[in-house]
Chain A
Amino acid sequence: MDESAARGPEVYATPNSTTPGQPVVFDAAVCTGCNICVHVCLEDVFIPHPRKGEPPILLYPEECWYCGPCVSACPHEGAIRLNHPLQQRVRWKRKSTGEHFRV
């Protein structure tokens, strides 16, 4: 039996993440890595990805103000969207059926 199997799966000593951790979500298939969102951000939460063409890195997600210029300034529809914190997802009720929904 080899030694690594005896040690079990690879597990690392990772710190906790800051939350909310994902204020925006990129679609890597649509994003061209143009970094316009990086340039317009009010809180400077992104940095450009070290590999050209890839979506920016969300370095300081907990500083996000959710103001939206990163989305409105993006030239590629669907490349980036806001992702509200779980504790602030607003609810609503459909009048005709009484069903309840949320963001």
Chain B
Amino acid sequence: MSAIHDDGRLLRWPYPVRYGNEQRVEADVLVLGGGIAGVWAAIAAARCGARVAILEKAATVHAGAGGAGVDHWQWAADNPASRVRPEELAQALVDNQGGYRNGISTYVQCASAYETLEEMERMGGKVRDTADEYRGADFRDEASRLLFAYDYTNRFVIRVWGADYKPLLRKECLRLGVRILDRTAATALLTEDGRHGARVVGATGLNTRTGAFVVVRAKAVILATSRPQRIWTFSTELRGLSTFRPPSDAGNGYAMAWRAGAQFTMMEKSMRSPFGSAYSFPAYGSGNAINTWYPCTIVDATGKEVPWVDGDGRVLHNVAERCRPAPGQRFFIMGGGSSSLPHPGLKQYAGPKPIPDLEERMRRGEFTPPFYADLAAMPELERKVIWGLMVGNEGKTRIPVMQTYAQSGFDPERDMLQTYDFLRGSGMREPVVPQERTFGESGVCGGLLTDWDLMSTLPGLFGAGDLVFGGQDHSHAAATGRYAGARAALFARAHAAAGLDERQLADEKRRVYAPLSVRGARTIDWKELNAGIARVMQNYCSEPKNDELLRLAETWLADLQANEAPLAGADNPHKLMRTLDVADILTCARIIVHACRARRASSAYLHFNRLDYPDVDPPEWHKWITVRQGEHGMETSELPIAFWGGLEDNYRPRHRANLAAMGSGGAAHRRSA
């Protein structure tokens, strides 16, 4: 039997079909997206005593980019062994991006990542080396038994056993009475009296299996959906397991908030990046020297080791030195010649990495390609922590990398894993097609403008995790989710529920079900529409840019919106969800192009190169460009670079109020001694 036929007949859709049927739900706090940020937000709001509901497009138990695991709990400057204070680390992370990073969410992370991790531990997550597997290791703090990564001297990135966290978080949601609606894709925000740009008072959703329509009325809504992927690259045939974010991350939250009139910033930033490239390799699953694999030894085809250098270019002599700051350096951020970032960040925070001129030296005959990651050459505990703890818990490594490679015979004590980053000496992975870019597949990218409550410019709409123009990582999602959950619950306490506007609901229903009525030979599949959008973006919104190219991007995206988007058809609830995803991707692409036109200056930090404005990072453009959809078209505005003011001063009173509310709200919530 093939996938679609049984005894010569097409299989019937296996779930009952309920197009248009309405399910109405009431909540104090509604969370859209049940990934890491979403479940943390739901737990925090529930601890504050709020009635909470989550809408999740997939299944909460493992949903989200970090739903299958995490290895680095980043920027936990509040941990007891850290030698860097939260304020200092947050400022360094913001400065390292030239100021273009959400200082609010970054500070929330730096000041409460460890506090959040302790809460994870109380839910049953393993956060420290309780079995003493790494006793005596350079990266272990003997007092707390915490394991650290990167900078072993300053100790603010914690290695954790995160592959089991997500099911524990879901269990805690259920224990606290959070109502989880899985297989329910949020489609639109509902506003007070249906007015554009007004307070957000609920949301709609589509059941992706039955096609039923879900309407939630809430006093506060938290957007915890991820960033739009598939903007420049779309190929279900080629991408396979190479991406760091699930392919279903379609920027639904961006598109919903945009349609409702929320303000966004930094949407002009995209990166030339192999992550998410059509020609990349399994995420975290090929040998390298960065991230999960830091500080792995790289060797050439003859077994010759590639030397490492510190941030000042000084040659390092052993593995231990790869995890220490350079002489006189306060601390370093990451290292490993990390990722594909053309902008290297500030020299004062640069970490150790393999020699940057490896490719030249290979061409001179000093090294012979191909190159390998030589785990076997690493000191025993360093090898075991990379292959076993990091690979095994990070992202999606447990099954696709550790188990699958082991079943094929890979043995980290005997074998050297091919590195595709350094295959022929290039120190960074390069996308095969130079026009391929990503919007935050990795790294800091633009998103929902927030204030110190992580509230957007629409009252009652909060943001957490990936979409608040801050960090891309798991602990950022967790800490900001937890913070936003408490802030939203406090907002809900102070505001009454508002009535829903039936006309707004009817309009959204019409939009959601329209693809079901598309019939005939001109019908377009969602995949082809996605590929068409990606090609416009490759051609007219890649690098370098000028106003004429961007104007054409705007024109051709509007053309797709007018002519092809209405022809995108679906004949079951799953394809309906995918078709709506592509509609959101198209909206996100249009936001990006609009923002690109609005920044009339080049910027290295933003990976933004304008032929018509070639000056790089001129001081008068060192500011945030914000964009929103007004009632009469797109609006552009600006904000000063550090608009958030003092970090600690703004954070402390809110954090205190959050802790007080969470402590009194959840009956079974225990603070550790």
A interface residue numbers (CB < 8 A to B) = 18-20, 39-44, 47-48, 50, 57-69, 71-73, 81-82, 84-85, 87-88, 90-96, 101-103
Contacts of B163 in A (CB 8 A): 72
Within 8 Å by CB of B58, from A42, A62, A101, lies A42
Is residue B177 contacting chain A, with contact meaning CB distance below 8 A? no
Indicate whether B644 reaches chain A with its CB closer than 8 angstroms.
no
Query: Are B410's CB and A50's CB within 8 A?
Result: no
B130 at the interface (CB under 8 A from A): no
B243–chain A nearest beta-carbon distance, Å: 7
Q: Is the CB of A68 within 8 A of B396?
A: yes
Q: List 28 A-B contacts (CB under 8 A).
A: A20-B240, A42-B63, A44-B183, A44-B574, A58-B3, A59-B4, A62-B236, A63-B578, A65-B396, A66-B240, A66-B282, A67-B399, A68-B400, A69-B61, A72-B399, A73-B61, A81-B404, A82-B400, A82-B404, A87-B238, A91-B418, A93-B416, A94-B414, A95-B303, A95-B374, A101-B409, A101-B415, A103-B404
Nearest Cβ on chain B to A13's Cβ, whole angstroms: 13
- Are A42 and B67 in touch, CB under 8 angstroms? yes
Q: Check A59/B240 contact, CB under 8 A, given A43-B248, A72-B398, A82-B404.
A: no
Query: In the assembled complex, which residues on chain B have CB atoms less than 8 Å from the CB atom of A61?
Result: 3
B567-599 vs A, Cβ < 8 Å mask (1 yes, 0 no): 000000010001000000000000000000000
- A sample of 5 more A-B contacts (CB under 8 A), given A44-B183, A90-B282, is A65-B241, A88-B241, A90-B286, A92-B415, A95-B416
- Give Cα distance in the complex from A95 to B60, angstroms: 42
Are A40 and B415 in contact, with the CB atoms below 8 A? no
Q: How far is the CA of A65 from the CA of B584 in the complex (A)?
A: 20
Task: Tell me whether B3 and A57 are in contact (CB under 8 A).
Answer: yes
In the complex, chain B residues whose CB is within 8 Å of the CB of A88: 240-242, 281-282
B: interface residue count bin = 35 or more
Q: Which residue of B lies closest to A97 (CB)?
A: B414
Q: Mark B392-404, 1 if CB is under 8 A from A, else 0.
A: 0000101110011
Does B208 sit within 8 A of A, measured CB to CB?
Answer: yes
Are B372 and A93 in contact, CB atoms less than 8 angstroms apart? yes
The one of A59, A82, A85, A96 in contact with B399, judged by C-beta atoms closer than 8 angstroms, is: A82
What distance in Å separates the Cβ of B295 from its nearest Cβ neighbour in chain A? 19
Nearest residue, chain A, Cβ from B247: A65
Q: Which of A20, A68, A81 contacts B398 (CB 8 A)?
A: A68
**Inside 8 A of A92's CB, which chain B residues have their CB?**
372, 410, 415-418
Establish whether residues A59 and B247, one from each chain, have CB atoms under 8 Å apart when the complex forms. Answer: no
Contact with A along B205-244 (1 / 0, CB 8 A): 0001100000000000000000000000000111011110
A92 and B411 CA atoms in complex are apart in Å by 10
Cβ of B643 within 8 Å of any chain A Cβ, yes or no, is no
**Could you tell me the distance in whole angstroms from the C-beta of B83 to the nearest C-beta in chain A?**
35
Give chain B's interface secondary structure class: loop
Q: A41-B58, A63-B247, A69-B67 are in contact. Are A94 and B14 (CB under 8 A)?
A: no
- A39-B414 contact, Cβ under 8 Å, with A44-B208, A66-B240, A81-B407: no
In this assembly, does B558 line the interface, its C-beta being within 8 Å of a C-beta of chain A? no
Q: Which single residue of chain B is at the shortest CB-CB distance from A83?
A: B404
Q: Known contacts A43-B246, A84-B282, A88-B240; is A67 also within 8 Å of B415 by CB? A: no
Please give me the 5 A-B residue pairs with the lowest Cβ-Cβ distance, nearest first.
Answer: A68-B399, A66-B241, A62-B236, A67-B396, A69-B62
Shortest CB-to-CB span from A66 to chain B, Å, is 3
| B507 interface hit (Cβ, 8 Å) | no
**Distance of A82 Cα from B285 Cα, bound (Å):** 14
Q: How far is the CA of A20 from the CA of B63 in the complex (A)?
A: 22
**Separation in Å of the A41 CB from the closest CB of chain B?**
7
Q: Indicate whether B649 reaches chain A with its CB closer than 8 angstroms.
A: no
CB distance from A70 to the nearest CB of B (A): 8
Contact A44 B58 (CB under 8 A): yes
B397–chain A nearest beta-carbon distance, Å: 8
Query: Assuming A84-B282, A92-B416, is B59 touching A40 (CB within 8 A)?
Result: yes
Least CB distance from B298 to A in Å reads: 13
Contact in complex: A65, B399 (CB < 8 Å): no
**Is B68 engaged at the interface, CB distance under 8 Å to the other chain?**
yes
Q: Shortest CB–CB separation between residue B574 and chain A, in angstroms?
A: 6
A96 to B59, alpha carbons, bound, how many Å? Answer: 45
Query: Which residues of B sit under 8 angstroms from A50, Cβ to Cβ?
Result: 6, 11-12, 14
Contacts A40-B61, A67-B400: A95 and B376 contacting too (C-beta < 8 A)? Answer: yes
Q: Does B408 contact A (CB under 8 A)?
A: yes
Q: Are B414 and A95 in contact (CB under 8 A)?
A: yes
Please tell me which one of the listed residues A20, A72, A96, A103 contacts residue B408 in the complex, with CB atoms under 8 A apart.
Answer: A103
CB of B405 within 8 A of CB of A90, answer yes
User: Could you tell me if B398 and A19 are in contact, using CB atoms closer than 8 angstroms?
Assistant: no
Min CB gap B253→A, angstroms: 17
Are A43 and B238 interface neighbours, CB within 8 A?
no
Q: Which residues of A contact B374 (CB under 8 A)?
A: 95
Cα(A72)–Cα(B400), bound, Å: 10
CB contacts (< 8 Å) of A18 on chain B: these are 236-237
Check if B417 sits within 8 Å of A19, measured CB to CB: no
In the complex, the chain A residue whose C-beta lies closest to that of B59 is A40
- Distance of A29 Cα from B577 Cα, bound (Å): 34
Q: Which A residues lie within 8 Å of B59 (CB)? A: 39-42
Whole-angstrom distance between the alpha carbons of A42 and B176 in the complex? 24
Question: Chain B residues near A90 (CB, 8 Å)?
Answer: 281-282, 285-286, 405, 417-418
591-645 of chain B: CB within 8 A of chain A: none
In the complex, the answer to whether A48 meets B247 with C-beta atoms within 8 Å is: no
Please, which residue of chain A has its CB at the minimum distance from the CB of B377? A95
Please measure, in the bound complex, the distance between the C-alpha atom of A63 and the C-alpha atom of B282, giving whole angstroms.
15
Output the least CB separation between A56 and chain B (Å): 10
The docked-state distance in angstroms from the alpha carbon of A49 to that of B546 is 53
Q: Are B403 and A71 in contact (CB under 8 A)?
A: yes
**With A and B bound together, what is the CA distance between A50 and B11 in angstroms?**
8
With contact pairs A69-B67, A85-B241 given, residues A48 and B14 touching in the complex (Cβ less than 8 Å): yes
For B349-384 the 0/1 string (1 means CB < 8 A from A) is 000000000000000000000001010100000000
**Nearest Cβ in chain A — how far from B212, in angstroms?**
15
User: Inside 8 A of B396's CB, which chain A residues have their CB?
Assistant: 65-68
CA of A43 to CA of B250 in the docked complex: distance in angstroms?
A: 12
The distance in angstroms between the C-alpha atoms of A62 and B372, with both chains bound, is: 30
- Give the one of A18, A63, A67, A94 with max B CB within 10 A: A67
CB pair A69–B68 under 8 Å, yes or no, is: yes
Residue pair B243, A65 in contact (C-beta under 8 Å): yes
A36 to chain B minimum Cβ distance, whole angstroms, is: 10
A62 vs B407: C-alpha distance when bound (angstroms): 23
Interface residues of B in 407-465 (CB under 8 A from A): 407-410, 414-418
Q: How far is the CA of A66 from the CA of B243 in the complex (A)?
A: 10
User: For residue A19, which residues in chain B have a CB less than 8 angstroms away from its CB?
Assistant: 237
Most buried by B among A40, A44, A50, A65: A65
Closest approach, in angstroms, between the C-beta of A101 and any C-beta of chain B?
6
Residue from A59, A66, A73, A95 with most neighbouring chain B CB atoms (10 Å): A66
Instruction: Write the chain B residue with the least CB distance to A19.
Output: B237
Q: Provided the pairs A44-B208, A59-B3, A90-B405 are in contact, do residues A95 and B415 lie with their beta carbons within 8 angstroms?
A: yes
